[in-house]
Amino acid sequence: MALGAAQEQSEGIIMILKLFTQQACPKCPAAKQLVKQIENKFQVENYDIKTEEGLAEALSYDIMSTPSIVITDHDNNVIGEWKSIVPTIDDINKVLK
């Protein structure tokens, strides 16, 4: 699991972006590129669902396919999620408002 930069929101809440991918996923490179564009806004956690740790984390969010992105607060409450799709930056910004 690789951690990116963390930034506190105005309320003092650290947002966590969890990216779920796997090597054979055709849409995963686009999801990784999206996360690189916005990683300064979040603490980023990358999970490969083909690993034991990645699969366990994915199952805790009912993720069965990749790419998937889950945004949580520091208490692990889900703020936004996209399963089997690559959201736009606007999609992500909408859930943060």
- Reported as a single tens digit per residue, the pLDDT across 39-94 is 998 999 999 999 999 999 999 999 999 999 999 998 999 999 999 999 999 999 99
**How is the chain split into domains, by residue range?**
16-96
The domain at 16-96 falls in which architecture? 3-Layer(aba) Sandwich (3.40)
What is the model's pLDDT at position 13? 53
Query: What does pTM read for this prediction?
Result: 0.85
Q: Which residues contact 82 (CB under 8 A, 6 or more apart)?
A: 68, 69, 91
Higher pLDDT pick, 96 / 78: 78
- Encode burial over 28-45: b for 16+ CB neighbours within 10 A, e otherwise: beebeebbeeebebbbbb
Between CA 24 and CA 86 the distance in angstroms is 16
| Residues whose CB falls within 8 Å of the CB of residue 9, separated by 6 or more in sequence, listed in order | 15, 96
Please list the alpha-helical segments (H only) found in the chain: 28-38, 52-60, 89-96
